[in-house]
Structure 1
Amino acid sequence: MIYKIRKFTDSTYFTNAIKVTIAAVIPVVIFSFLGKFEMGFAMALGAFFTYPSDIPSSLKHKINGVLVTAFLVAGINLLVNIVFPYSWIFYPFLAVLIFLISMLSVYGQRATMVSFSGLIAVSLAFASINTGWAMLLHAGLILAGGLFYLLVSLIFHYIRPNRYVELQIAECIKLTAKYLKLRGDLWTLNADRKSIIEKQLHLQVELNTIHQNIREVLISSHTTSGSSNQNRKMLLVFISLVEILELALSTAFDHDKLHQKFDDHPKVLHTYQNLAYNLAASLKQLSKSVKKSTKYISKHTLLGDLNALQLAIADYENDLGKTTASEGVFMLTTMLQYAEKQVEKIKIVERAFTVTFNSHDFKGIDTDLEKFLTPQYYPLSTLTQNLSFSSTIFRHSLRLTITLMLGFIIGKFLPFHNVYWILLTIIVIMRPGYGLTKERSFHRIIGTVIGGLVAFGILFIVKDNIIISVLSIVCMLLGFSFTQINYKVSAIFVTMYVVFIYGIITPNIGDLVQYRILDTVVGAALAFLANHFLWPSWEFLNIPLYLEKAIKANQDYLKEISVFYNKKGNISTSYRLARKNAFIEIGNLMASFQRMVQEPKSKQKQMPQVYKLTVLNHSLLSSLASLGTYIQSHKTTTASEAFNVVVDTAIKNLDNAIAILKENNVAIKENLPQEDLALRFTELKNIREKELKEGIPIDEEAFQLKMQEAQLVIEQLIWLTNLSENILKTTKILKDS
């Protein structure tokens, strides 16, 4: 229990909640002491408005993002107050303003959060309409609140400048450990592999997000502010974690075949699975150590586990005899070598948190880092290109604008207590996707009802304003902390906080709770209906694009592997970028599938084919990672013409799948007939056999390595060719149905 509390209070979400709570409470307390509560509350609003834009990034981008948001929300408040009295221009002005603010989302994650802050500022501007000097003062106080939040955020940054990165790295280590654990589960006899693969795909989505957060902070800081020793150490850890993930994905064996082969010798598979579990346990333990800021002491003897696997392989060979066991020994030796690489990478991560690194440890890690970040620039052309119904953001912006205008008119002309509660509910709930909007609608309503009833009950019993003020601060802190963790819980605490505040400043608190619940229900209903009927963005419409990107990313990765196998040398930046993009696009495809599952059954079109293609692309990535990892870590022979022909066949299959998704039949490429492809595989095997025979009298060890290479490379080529054919066939079925 204590550990869970410590884990929660040391999280990034809780830290961010503390920052905005401090930035909001201090002005309110000071100005209340001076008898100017309204001025303090206006500054608190400024902090609330600005806080969402404080997302993971370099210090420079953080400052710029918060400053832009602070000035934007203050300007929006001023404009709404200026135009409000002139009804003949106010309504068209409000519609255009909402639409333009919503369209800012085309510029990426930070712009999306700035857009969200701007929309919140629009809704709450109606809570206090001012004229003359008062509106200038109110807008100025909102700006001051935003700047004060920036000051608080910077103080937190300089007190513990590396803590955010450490927590993100710790979370990345934990998720990577979970991935390794799932890979270990695959070795269980009669394991539910479909369920395990689905969990891996879900985990890939989380890993993509955490990887992007770490890149934004580490690489942005490195390129804008230079490289500190701590920054470079964290970079080394992050790169090692990415390589551990690739290695985990690359241990892609035919488990059914392995179980059939080793059923009579279960010791080797059990020993390997035990090693896989201990790899995961070591990372999980390290993650806890980093989060707690305690000294890491390993509880697992990974080198001993490797030795146990070597002995198990030796026993297997002795039991069957060298000739009979040769194929099995090659398989097991490949597994052992992957495990050795994993242990090597894990030891690098462990050393980063246990000993002082030398500069030699960082050699070459900062080459071309900026290429791994999405460039941050905001051309007008990006906005204009999205001004069409083919853009999801355009449709969402138009949908949101109409819904907010409708909510404003309903609140204005019907006897509602506060129109801005309806607007605020719509903005907070409404998302481009139907599933998330539906989920948030229910959570918001449930949270508001529960929070309102609990808060009303407390106010009925507690009459002391000091106690109520303390409770409101606690609820504010918890409300912001749970925003990203559990939206329903967040809605409960935010509602309680709002009710407590109004309980202090207004006597008719019972009416407030009733109106708050009614406004929330109306806003949620409008958001839900709009997402269903106003140019809905059903996920089945987006799936082809995500499929195309995933297939293209895998194809680019295969091309880079082929180039490396032919040319040898060092791993290029283009290879690492292709690998990164393949991981990202598979995660994006799975995220799209998850959104599709949340939608009505009638809109879950071609669900079996979409899921099959998602799994096939994940399996293809696994095959590519296996091939790429092998040729990186072994001295391989010269690539033959047959190898390149087989790889070209897989590339053409993927090209044809992309062309089908684009509905571009002209681009379909002729492939080798199946009998010719089989001849190529035979040719590839004959070449290898010739090489092996030539190698026998020279060097027994070299002979064994060539045997292993021949078996693994040919098996992987057969597998990825079959996968590419299945992707092509399933894509045809998807488009024809």
Structure 2
Amino acid sequence: MQQHALALLRVLLSYYMTNGYAVAVGYLLISAGVGLALGTTAGAAAALGVVVTIPPDMAGPRKGKFRQMIPTPILGVPLFFAVQMLHSSPLELGILIVAGTFVAFLAMAWGKRGAPIAIALMFAIIFSLAVPPQEEVKRLTAALHVTGYFALGALLYVLYSCIVHRWLNPRYRVLMLVDTLLSLADLMRLQARQFGEDSPEMRSEASGGLISRLLARQAALADQIQSTRDVVFESPDSLPRQRLAAMVLHVLDMRDHMIACALDLDTLRQHAGHNTVLVQMHDMLILLARETDNLADAMLFGRKPERPMDYRAQLENLRWAVDDDAMHSDPNRLVTSRNPSPDALVHSLADRIANLNDEVQRLYALARGEGKPNLAAVRASWHLFVSPVAWSIKPFYTLWSWGAPALRHAVRAALAIGTAYVIALLLPWGTHEYWIFLTIVVVLRGSLAQTLERRNLRVGGTLLGCLLALSILSLHPGYLAMILCLTVAQSVAHGLALRKYLYTAVAATILGLIQAHMISASSSTVFALFERTVDTLIGAGIAWLFSYVLPSWERSQIPNLVRRVVKSQVDHARTALDLVQLDAVDNAPELKWRLARKDAYDSLTALVLAAERSLKEPRAVRPPLQPLEMLQAHAYQMLAQLTAVKTLLLLRRGSLPGERLEQPLTRASERIANLLNGKEVIVDTVNADEPAEPVREPTLAAGPEHVPQAWDTNLMPWLERRLEQAVLLAAQIRKDADQLLGR
């Protein structure tokens, strides 16, 4: 019960719900204020302006907030007015709605920044339809009045949003980092399952479902980290902000260590008696995840975190736990350069988990105010790792190709809305066609997978929302009571839109129906539940059917994503193995590597998400899933291998023999680039944890593998083995990519 209460508090105090509360307060202040000052009709119209302006108001950086918010009233007010003027002209109104839908959905070309604008513009059209038409002689006057109140609400909300967002920015910085830490802890627990009991079921899961879940969770975390970067890395001009920014950098390092911590796990499982030591490592990862959770909770509740447990001593004392009989009877215990000793593998695994432990210690030190942030890295990250906030014209130029997903989606949406308009005219309750449009707008997504998910949640949420709205209206609430209900609904609908869409659908239904009831100035509480249900089913059905019209199947996007992954792996390998870092006196080489690493993660995230969406598409149009999954796994493994190398080089900078490292690093970098670019081939490659002998080159390592310790300077065999595995993984990536590209 306590865990459930804690989970609920984490949601209620999260940055996305805090954003929802801020949005709801703005809605309450503006709609109630205008209603009390100018009358309920003016207040209801102003409330519509607020609702339409809300979608782009998300937690983000301070800079560029006004530029993100102002396009909605600039474009939405004329659309709202035009619909008001054409209420009595069905043909012209239909043309306007279809054309407006096409133009609005073109904003999807601007990605995450453009999508809320598109939704907001569609809301301007749809909620204008909800305003009852006036008599012809009064139409212009009535349209100007209601549009004026609508514009007043929209502009007041833009001003409110910019002020409140700036005021909440310090809290957003903390809460977004808290959310990232909680996700990191969840990923750590999932990663720990790879160290679980060595049963056939576990091995089957580790080779299939668990790996897929890890890749999906890594992709989600990468997207979440970027959102956190955009806020936390902005203007770190005070010590508390610098500490938060430094914590994000340590989170990035923890993500790398987590990917690397399972290296050699399959090789270790080939030896007898490994269960005990793997269980200890599993338990250690769970403990570190718990420490990360505790840090996040302390920051969430504004407490100074207590000092964490330091598990470095236990990890350094971790030894090969096997009885003598198993040790002597193990047929795989032969130690060679290609077959490391179990002791070496255990030490390597324990050392990587120890790196995670060290990062947790550094996070706590910064959170407690005891650690000093790396100001050079923080300042560099401020400029280089945040998303641009200025609007660019470049996406507009990419639209005008028939294969452009945004153009096809805009055409698809316009056709769906046009079809819905014709159907609405034929329905006996055609005065409520806006509800069909609203369902299409929120259900129809750019991919079939997202549309199917939204369809089911929308229908269920609408049914429940209709019942709740009917219950509320049956109580004959007054104006302020309805505004209060709308405030709560707006908070939930906006706050959980990207997290729990079912709750958003329920809240949005209540919001839309009560808002329509207010704007119609009707005193009737008899709500047509049947009509709303049928409208929702019609809208969801149309959205589902039109998701197959001019589809942008993921298969068509895969080749470009694969090429991007290969290119980013080449760039990352070159920067990770760059010799300049050995003699550098500043952080420039490390910064260059961090940028290359970010691009590698971003490209893999895009590929993983596309692969996930393709699973919901018809079998006939799916990309070949096996090479796609193998490419993702091998790319993450190569990132892990090179991260292990890079970590070693950074930790031992200045004490490593540069003359001895030059040849293996240069040769490995060249071979990886040649293999990934298709200029070299290694045949009969196998899993990188059991590397086969390359055909065109001898093995990089010679002699028995040595266990690297903190006091040991002879790290060459270990380093060379990592480089060799990275080379073999590069060959696997090229092979997987060729299968996907049809070569």
The two structures share one fold, judged by TM-score above 0.5: yes
Counterparts of residues 326-341 of structure 1 (less than 5 Å): 327-341=341-355
Hey, what does 1:722 align to over in structure 2? 728
Q: Does 1:488 align with 2:491?
A: no
Q: Distance between the aligned counterparts of 1:575 and 1:89, measured in 2?
A: 57
Question: 2:331 matched to which residue of 1?
Answer: none
Q: Which moved more, 1:325-334 or 1:348-357?
A: 325-334
Q: CA deviation at 1:239?
A: 0.7
The answer for the alignment partner of 1:434 in structure 2 is: 448
In structure 2, the residue matched to 1:527 is 543
Q: In 1, Cα distance between the equivalents of 2:400 and 2:246?
A: 42
> What code does the residue aligned with 2:701 have?
K
1:234 and 1:703, CA in 2 relative to 1: closer, same or farther beyond 3 A? closer
Q: For 2:670 and 2:374, how far apart are their aligned partners in 1? A: 38
Partner of 1:695 in structure 2? none
State the match for 1:296 in structure 2.
305
2:407 partner letter: F
Q: Which amino acid aligns with 1:572?
A: E
Are 1:617 and 2:639 matched, yes or no?
no
CA contact (8 A) 1:19 1:149 kept: no
Q: Secondary structure at the match of 2:318?
A: helix
1:163 aligns with 2:171: yes
Answer whether contact 2:555 2:614 (CA < 8 A) is retained: yes
CA contact (8 A) 2:664 2:720 kept: no
1:660 is aligned to none
Larger mean Cα displacement after TM superposition, 339-348 or 538-547: 339-348
Shift of 1:193: 1.3
| SS of 1:484 mapped into structure 2 | coil
| Cα displacement (A) at 1:235 | 0.8
Task: Return the TM-score normalized by structure 1.
Answer: 0.86
Q: State the distance in 1 between where 2:9 and 2:644 align.
A: 39
Say yes or no: does 1:67 pair with 2:70.
Answer: yes
Pick from 648, 652, 676 the counterpart of residue 670 of structure 2: 648
Closer, same or farther: CA 581–137 of 1 in aligned 2, 3 Å: same
| Cα contact 1:275–1:306 (8 A) shared by 2 | no
- Aligned pair partner of 1:26 in 29, 33, 37: 29
C-alpha deviation, 1:367, in angstroms: 2.0
Residue 273 of structure 1: CA displacement? 3.4
Letter in 2 for 1:277: I
Alignment match of 2:661 (pick from 639, 663, 688): 639
Structure 1 residues 356 and 38: alpha-carbon distance in aligned structure 2, compared to 1, 3 A threshold? farther
Q: Cα distance, 1:7 vs. partner?
A: 2.4
Q: Report how far residue 201 of structure 1 moved.
A: 1.0
- Aligned residue for 2:64, secondary structure, equals helix
Q: Is the Cα contact below 8 Å between 1:189 and 1:259 reproduced in 2?
A: no
Q: Which amino acid aligns with 2:288?
A: L
Pick one of 569, 580, 592 that aligns with 1:574: 592
- 1:20 touches 1:47 (CA, 8 Å); kept in 2? no
Deviation string 1:350-386 (CA, Å, 9 cap, x unpaired) is: 122212555x653442126322234344444431222
Contact 1:455 1:499 in 2 (8 A): yes
Alignment counterpart, residue 119 of structure 1, candidates 106, 119, 122: 122
State how 1:582-621 maps to structure 2 within 5 Å.
582-621=600-639
> Which residue is equivalent to 2:105?
102
Q: Equivalent residue for 1:274?
A: 283
Give the conservation status (yes or no) of the 8 Å contact 2:106–2:406: yes
**Which of 706, 709, 716 lines up with 1:709 in the alignment?**
716
Determine whether 1:731 maps to 2:731. Answer: no
Q: CA deviation at 1:82?
A: 4.8
What TM-score do the two structures reach when normalised by structure 2? 0.85
Is the 2:264–2:345 contact (alpha carbons within 8 Å) kept by the matching residues of 1?
no
Aligned-residue offset at 1:459: 4.7
Name 2:424's counterpart in structure 1.
411
CA distance in 2, matches of 1:420, 1:414: 12
**Bigger shift: 246-255 or 408-417?**
408-417
Structure 1 residue aligned with 2:403: 390
Q: 1:176 to 1:93 in 2, by over 3 A?
A: same
Match of 1:255 in 2: 265
Is the 8 Å Cα contact of residues 565 and 631 (structure 1) preserved in structure 2?
no
Asked if 1:557 corresponds to 2:566, the answer is: no
Corresponding letter in the other structure for 1:443:
L
1:152-551 matches, cutoff 5 A: 152-157=160-165, 159-190=167-198, 191=202, 192-194=205-207, 195-219=209-233, 221-222=234-235, 227-261=237-271, 263-264=272-273, 268-298=277-307, 300-302=308-310, 305-313=311-319, 327-355=341-369, 361-367=374-380, 369-415=382-428, 416-457=430-471, 459-460=473-474, 462-463=475-476, 465=478, 470-500=484-514, 505-510=521-526, 512-532=528-548, 534-551=549-566
Q: Decide whether aligned partners of structure 1 residues 185 and 702 sit closer, same or farther in structure 2, where only a CA change above 3 A counts.
A: closer
Q: Is the 8 A contact 1:80 1:125 kept in 2?
A: yes
Q: Which amino acid aligns with 2:410?
A: S
For the residue of structure 2 that corresponds to 1:242, the secondary structure is helix
CA distance in 1, matches of 2:193, 2:698: 33
Q: Which of 1 and 2 has higher RCO (CA within 8 Å, sep 6+)?
A: 2
Q: How far does residue 283 in structure 1 lie from its aligned partner after superposition?
A: 0.7
Letter in 1 for 2:614: M
Cα deviation, residue 62, structure 1: 1.3
Give the structure 2 partner of residue 662 of structure 1: none
Contact 2:75 2:121 in 1 (8 A): yes
Question: Are the aligned partners of 1:252 and 1:626 in contact in 2 as well (CA < 8 Å)?
Answer: no
Preserved contact between residue 318 and residue 350 of structure 2 (Cα < 8 Å): no
- Residue 167 of structure 1 and its aligned partner are, at CA, apart by 0.9
User: Deviation per CA, 1:426-479, whole angstroms, max 9, x where unpaired?
Assistant: 11111110111122122212221222234335655x345476665454344333
* Stretch deviating more after TM superposition (494-503 or 193-202): 494-503
Give 1:159 deviation, angstroms: 4.7
Where is the helix percentage greater, Structure 1 or Structure 2? Answer: 1
The aligned amino acid for 1:50 is: T
**Conservation of the 8 A alpha-carbon contact between 1:649 and 1:672:** no
When structure 1 is superposed on structure 2, of 412-421 and 306-315 the one drifting more is: 306-315
Gapped regions of structure 2 (runs ≥ 5): 329-333, 685-691
Flag structure 1 segments of 5+ consecutive residues without an equivalent. Answer: 657-668, 693-699
| CA shift for structure 1 position 170 | 0.5
**Does the CA-based 8 Å contact 1:422-1:523 persist in structure 2?**
yes
CA distance in 1 between counterparts of 2:477 and 2:693 reads 86
Contact kept? 1:16, 1:481, Cα under 8 Å: yes
- Counting matched residue pairs gives 701
Compute the displacement of 1:187 (Å).
1.8
